[in-house]
Structure 1
Amino acid sequence: MAESVDQMLVQMQKAKDFGGDLVELRVDFLKNFVPRQDLDILIKQAPLPTLITYRPRWEGGQYDGDESKRREALRLAMELGADYIDIELKVAHDFFNSLPGKRPEKVKIIVSSHNYERTPSVKELSHLVARIQATGADIVKIATTAVDIIDNARIFQVLVHSQVPMIGLVMGERGLMSRILAAKFGGFLTFGSLEAGLVSAPGQPTVKELLDLYNMRLIGPDTKVYGVIGNPIGHSKSPHIYNASFKSSSFNGIYLPLLVDDVSTFITTYSAPDFAGYSYTFPHKEAGLKCCDEVDPIAKILCLCLDSGAISCMIKRSTEGKLIGYNIDYLGGIAAIEEELRVSNGATLASGSPLAGKTFVIIGAGDKAKELASKVRGQALTLAELNDFCPEEGMILVNTTPVGMEPRIEETPVSKETLKHYSLVFDAVYTPKLTRLLREAKQSGATIVYGTEMFINQAFIQFEMFTGLPGKMMPYD
């Protein structure tokens, strides 16, 4: 969003260096814009094909001047050799009628419509496409706003049935998947910003995220879609792990952060076979269980133990499309704690589990704590009682709650004074890596186990379940 021609020239070069194919020049952001002079410089010196956009305020842009001068600038951009120009549907007919004679063959005209409040129905969107086509547009562009993540499905449905080149995007955090999956559903292009926060529309990812995190150039019609379902979800590192692993294994899949409000509606909406599996995180693990056609035996046992239940992973069985629920968090957590204890004690795998005989204090059983304690012959305590609980030294403390997770990083489930009774403290929270609980446990002399270790362990298992390929150590920073 440059304010000068010089800044825009620098940004265009960055766009090329980052791997962009096309650069949109938002000239409505330029201060003291002189169309003939500035457009001539920008178009002739552009290192990439150019899309000239001169967005008025009434369509969400910055320009608030004379409409005839704005359209004249766009006509000038065509004469000077722009590859694409964007004109709004509201004035498209008048713009086409004002073009003198035959327009330059090189330039393609995008006719756009933006809805900053909602995403209309598929029927309404289809009518909108027809209206845009009727103007003589070379390319249709529709940008809507996501109220719910299921709004993306309407754009996908219109995209796959479009008979003309079409750009279809859903704005906002819940619309991210529309930008990443554009190529899967036949979208003409998608937009990325040069820097986080420097966006021309809400929810826009960066070019680097599109190319390096989401491997967008590898996405096609047959790409399998996976993701992590949660709310909030922006903190999740899962896309970094899985997308890097999919790419290194040449597996045709994409893994997305999915900001979901209602799990059942999401699962019902995205029921196509290519939406093949999900990880579940707070607060949707229990809701995910209710959407399963079958539940893995181990997950079922855990459900019975708590008279409740949750899953951490859901796989769509390819043969008949049934959704199978799994809970593998416990495997990742136990493995992380065992490994740290072996390292601390100098033990080996042959010596058996180092957890034998250890007293565990688990924070996170909630209302089911008494029932669970009864079934495992343990004791249920409130957090207040936990401060004075010390039947023996050298206990292990496990936090399974989201307390301390970003953005509330200064919260902790127990006081620092309580931590002196524990030899090892494990926190399932992994953003941030060093939580306040772990920081204070370390200061109190306890061995600490990061939530990232559990995260990596369970990711290893889920990767095999998603892909059917041998698991590999996944990269994580």
Structure 2
Amino acid sequence: MAVNVVLSLTSGSVGEALSLIDRYASYCQGIELRADCLASLSCEDISAVSARAKELGLFSILTLRHERDGGFFHASYKEHDRVLSELVSCCSFDFVDVEEWASDSIVSLARSNGSRVIRSAHFFSSMPSDIVSYVEALAAMGDVPKLACMLSSSADFSFFTDSAMQLKSSLSGDYILVGMGEYGFPSRVLASIMGSFITFSSVGTVSAAPGHVSPDVLYSLYRVPSINEGTSIFGIIGNPVLHSMSPGIHNPIFAEKGLDAVYIPFCVDSLEEFFSVADRLNIKGVSVTIPHKQAVIPFLDSCADVVSAVGACNTVVRRGSSWWGTNTDVYGFWSPLEDVLSVSTLASGRRATVIGAGGAARSVVYALVKNGFDVLILNRTVEKAASLAADFSCEYAALDESSCALISSYRSVIVQTTSLGMGNNCVNPLAFYDLQGDEICYDIVYIPKMTPFLSFAEKKGCRIITGDLMLKAQAIEQSRLFCELV
């Protein structure tokens, strides 16, 4: 069953809503007018919205969402019913969305005017203990049932997925099932797999619900309308993960190669729950990011030697009924550096300084040592630097002014591997050291692209390597493995 992408219009004016319909019509199959978001309610104006949708071949949904159900209509239930009745009487929409507590008179009025009724229920703090029975009870009212639940964990997503699979077998008519929030995002992309005939999207400053993205993202990046039971599912697991750039790398590769595959971010707080649901959804492979690169290893049936060497895994794929892991971060790090090395004269020979001693640093140190570099490891917690140095027979020191002389003898390549270049921690961890200008400076942070460390290095005349190059290189190697499984 093909799913319909619906644009929820949360504009404050009908004029803006009409503009958005025109802009996004090619990316969706329907629109939902959230009348509760409008500054004023005019039957003439609201009718113009459904008319414009019809002109463009889109079906239309009228919704006046009460604050009790996450909407912006703040009056009493009685006033809600009065206003919605008035709108239903004077406007023609294909669907009218009513809360499960709506009066029978509104339901009868909508039906008599030729609209199908969506009977909706929203759970923002918990889920029904029995989703299947709840949706079946809504369906028994003779309407299209809609259940939207906030998912707050991997266990919630697993339960939600199981319920969706059961509903596909027990319900013969249309229904709408939505998992809200970061943990629920995969359900929006995999709506057809979940059996839902609609997935919602929104644009602008007011999101219609937690987890919405714009319709062009669902349509063009994730190719949601074409996802079916035969689509190969891949993704990235982490926490948090919706910020990841990886879907924007892998999905275009699938599209360019004409492969029936999709790559989705999965927020994961329990690897055990994730791998359980991965079996039920037949997920074929995943990228692994913070904080699971080490923790995922016990869930593998086998792995490449590099995983054991660096103690981290960033790529997991199915091999038959087993999970096999590898680490493409090593290749991703080395590939851009190798390109620069091929045209560079090294200031102090094949010697490098690595800032940081975490999981990312392990991959970097491994790649450097494997390719003939002597390495100095700097870290604020010296004990961690010492531990990593012992594993790879490297030198180590504290990340402060006392190490300047050592850095000078390991300055051909300087690699920044910590989180100090991103977000609220956006600082240059090597600010105390005076770069000479002939160093190769590499920061594996990719948001922002120009970190304080790289900006400082560029001003000094150093060659710089940005973290997005590593991201792309490791993703291309991952993609090679993923595409073999489609």
TM-score of the superposition, structure 2-length normalised? Answer: 0.83
Match of 1:328 in 2: 328
Query: Contact between 2:378 and 2:397, CA under 8 Å: does it hold in 1?
Result: no
- Out of 173, 188, 201, the residue aligned to residue 197 of structure 2 is 188
Deviation at 1:370, TM superposition (A): 2.5
Contact 1:404 1:410 in 2 (8 A): yes
Q: Is the 8 A contact 1:144 1:171 kept in 2?
A: yes
Q: Is the 8 A contact 2:437 2:461 kept in 1?
A: no
Which residue of the other structure, out of 400, 403, 408, is the alignment partner of 2:424?
A: 408
Equivalent in the alignment of 1:44? 51
How many Å separate the matches in 2 of 1:361 and 1:335?
21
User: Matched residue of 1:286: which SS?
Assistant: coil
Paired residues of 1:183 and 1:219 also in contact (CA < 8 A): yes
Q: Report the Cα distance in structure 2 between the residues aligned to 1:301 and 1:354, rounded to whole angstroms.
A: 12
The 3-state SS of whatever aligns with 2:469 is helix
Deviation at 1:461, TM superposition (A): 1.2
The CA deviation at 1:393 is: 6.4
Matched residue, 1:11 = 20
Aligned partners of 1:361 and 1:398 also within 8 Å: no
1:129 aligns with 2:135: yes
Indicate conservation of the 8 Å contact 1:235/1:431, yes or no: no
Letter paired with 2:48: I
Q: In structure 1, which of residues 439, 442, 459 is the aligned counterpart of residue 455 of structure 2?
A: 439
Are 1:85 and 1:108, in contact at CA under 8 Å, matched by a contact in 2? yes
Q: Deviations over 1:110-151 (max 9, x none)?
A: 000000112334xx11121122022221x1100011211442
The 2-side partners of 1:290 and 1:128 are apart by 37
Deviates more, 1:224-233 or 1:169-178: 224-233
Structure-1 residue corresponding to 2:265: 257
How far apart, CA to CA, are the structure 1 residues paired with 2:315 and 2:41? 53
CA contact (8 A) 2:201 2:212 kept: yes
Cα offsets for 1:151-171 (capped at 9, x unmatched): 233333333333121111111
- In the alignment, what sits opposite 1:158? 163
One-letter amino acid matched to 2:88: A
Measured after TM superposition, the shift of residue 24 of structure 1 is 0.4
CA contact (8 A) 2:161 2:277 kept: no
Distance 1:42 1:425, change over 3 A: closer
Q: 2:421–2:453: 8 Å Cα contact kept in structure 1?
A: yes
Closer/same/farther in 2, CA of residues 455 and 34 from structure 1, 3 Å limit: closer
How far residue 59 of structure 1 moved from its aligned partner, in angstroms, is 1.8
Once the two structures are superposed, what CA deviation does each residue of 1:179-233 show, in whole Å capped at 9, x if it has no partner?
Answer: 11112222111111133x4311111111121112212122112222222222232
The CA distance in 2 between the partners of 1:366 and 1:461, in whole Å, is 33
Alignment of 1:268-279 (within 5 A): 268-272=276-280, 274-279=282-287
Please list the CA deviations of residues 256-307 of structure 1 after superposition, one character each: whole Å capped at 9, or x if unmatched. 22222233332233323621111112222111122212221222233xxxxx
Matching residue's letter, 2:469: E
CA distance in structure 2 between the partners assigned to 1:67 and 1:372 by the alignment: 63
Letter paired with 1:44: A
Q: Distance in 1 between matches of 2:19 and 2:281?
A: 44
The equivalent position to 1:90 in structure 2, one of 89, 93, 101, is 101
- 1:429-468 deviation line (CA, Å, top 9, x unaligned): 1111111111112222322112222222211211111121
TM superposition score normalised by structure 1: 0.85
Counterpart of 1:306 in structure 2 is none
Equivalent of 2:73 in 63, 68, 71: 63
**Alpha-carbon distance, 1:92 to partner:** 5.5
Q: What's the secondary structure of 2:32's corresponding residue? A: strand
Higher relative contact order (CA 8 A, sep 6+): 2
In structure 2, the residue matched to 1:396 is 413
Which among 438, 443, 458 is matched to residue 474 of structure 2?
458
Secondary structure at 2:121 match in 1: strand
Partner of 1:475: none
- Cα distance per residue 1:62-91 (max 9 Å; x no partner): 223354554355455266431000011122
Contact preservation (8 Å) 2:428, 2:452: yes
Identity of aligned residues (%): 27
| Cα distance in 2 between the residues matched to 1:88 and 1:398 | 56
CA RMSD of aligned residues (A): 2.9
Q: Could you give the per-residue CA deviations for residues 237-271 of structure 1, whole angstroms, max 9, x where no partner exists?
A: 11101000011112222112222223333223332
- Is contact 1:230–1:280 with CA below 8 Å preserved after alignment? yes
1:273 & 1:11 partners in 2: Cα distance?
Answer: 34
8 Å CA contact 2:378–2:396 kept in 1: the answer is no
| Cα distance change of structure 1 residues 286 and 422 upon mapping to structure 2, 3 Å threshold | farther
> For residues 199-278 of structure 1, what are the structure 2 equivalents within 5 Å?
199-272=207-280, 274-278=282-286
SS at 2:308 equivalent: helix
Contact residue 14 and residue 194 of structure 1 kept, 8 A: no
CA drift at 1:45: 3.8
| 1:143 equivalenced with 2:158 (yes/no) | no
Aligned to 2:36: 28
Distance verdict in 2 for CA 1:224–1:356, change over 3 Å: closer
Going from structure 1 to structure 2, the CA distance change for 1:366 and 1:128 (only over 3 Å counts) comes to farther
Query: Which one-letter code corresponds to 1:81 in the other structure?
Result: S
Give yes or no for contact 1:416–1:441 (8 Å, CA) kept in 2.
no
Partners of 2:220 and 2:415 in 1: how far apart? 35
Q: Is the 8 A contact 1:361 1:397 kept in 2?
A: no
Supply the distance in 2 between the matched residues of 1:216 and 1:6 (Cα, whole angstroms).
28
Are the equivalent residues in 2 in contact too, given 1:395–1:421 (CA < 8 A)? no
What runs of 5+ residues in structure 1 fail to find an aligned partner?
Answer: 303-308, 347-352, 471-477
In 2 relative to 1, CA 82–185 (structure 1 residues): closer, same or farther, beyond 3 Å? same
Please say if residues 81 and 102 of structure 2, whose CA atoms lie closer than 8 Å, have aligned partners that are also in contact: no
Indicate the residue corresponding to 2:403 in structure 1.
386
The SS at the match of 2:158 is helix
